[in-house]
Amino acid sequence: MRENREFYINDQGTELHLKLEVPEALKEPHTLGIVVHGFTGDMEEPHIITATKALRDAGCASLRAELYGHGKSGGAFFDHTIDRWLENLRAVIAYARTLKEYDRLILCGHSQGGLLVMLEAAEIPDQIDALIPLSPAVMIPEESRNGILLGVQFSPDHLPEQILVEDGIPLGKAYLECAQAIDPYAVIGAYHGPVLIVHGADDLTVPLSVAERASKEYENVTLTVIEGEDHCFDFHPDQMAEAVRSFVEKL
């Protein structure tokens, strides 16, 4: 039986909100794509829906997940960290692997979710059949070490208890400590499977140069640059969708 489901799984006491969608025309080999939003994001953002629909159009099922402190999942935004998100993602992957009807697993994430899927694919390279980071925010760790995130400055050596992001939303010290300890460029190349990075040429949140640098770490990578496009693919969502769909169809 194929059906769409909205449900929760528990990761170490945190309820994680998930949506599984299976197309009528599920193609062989059966492929499931996990889709993760970014910092302050959720699974209903237009660009997350666009990526999910592109997977469906390629004949794949999708599993959208909301991670700690975001969307309808548990936890406070203030307390979220990239490490907590990694643990959440591992719980989502463990759940996905119980769905025995799927032969292949894809990880797709936007921005901070893009960095996340890159880090996790490097941990379990043989379990991930393709990786799709969208506008991946690979520079968050470096910016944390430099004491500036999203235009907010702080002392990287004497971290404040919190910073205020996006016009006043408090984000705790644990986020900064965790981010400072991550070195994405040292690890992401451990994933050897196919990678599609899609990035807007006019992304002001994560500059295109970040995607260019990250793509150098991969041996099997396509970097699709969308001209006149921003961080959330607000101007040409059809081009992002087409990049994702055609990449997945060729796997």
Binding-site ranges for ligand FER (CB under 6 A): 38-39, 111-112, 137, 140, 143, 149-150, 205-206
For 190, which DSSP code? G
Q: How far apart are CA 196 and CA 206, in angstroms?
A: 17
- Closest residue to ligand FER using C-beta atoms: 38
**What are residue 229's phi and psi, to 5 degrees?**
-115, 150
Shortest CB 69 distance to ligand FER, Å: 12
Nearest approach in angstroms of CB 230 to ligand FER is 11
The nearer residue to ligand FER, 205 or 222, going by C-beta atoms, is: 205
Query: Closer CB to ligand FER, residue 59 or residue 113?
Result: 113
Distance, CA of 251 to CA of 243 (rounded, Å): 13
10 Å Cβ neighbour count for 98? 8
Cα–Cα distance measured from residue 116 to residue 118, given in angstroms and rounded to the nearest whole number: 5
Nearer to ligand FER, 191 or 233 (CB): 233
> Residue 107 phi/psi, 5° resolution?
-110, 130
Distance CA 108, CA 197 (A): 10
Q: How far is the CB of 123 from ligand FER (least distance, A)?
A: 20
CB of 10 to ligand FER, least distance (A): 24
Name the minimum Å distance from CB 225 to ligand FER.
Answer: 18
> Which residue lies nearer to ligand FER by CB, 125 or 156?
156
Shortest Å distance, C-beta 115 to ligand FER: 8
DSSP string, 10-58: EETTEEEEEEEE--TTPPSSPEEEEEE--TT--TTSHHHHHHHHHHHHT
Nearer to ligand FER, 22 or 178 (CB): 178
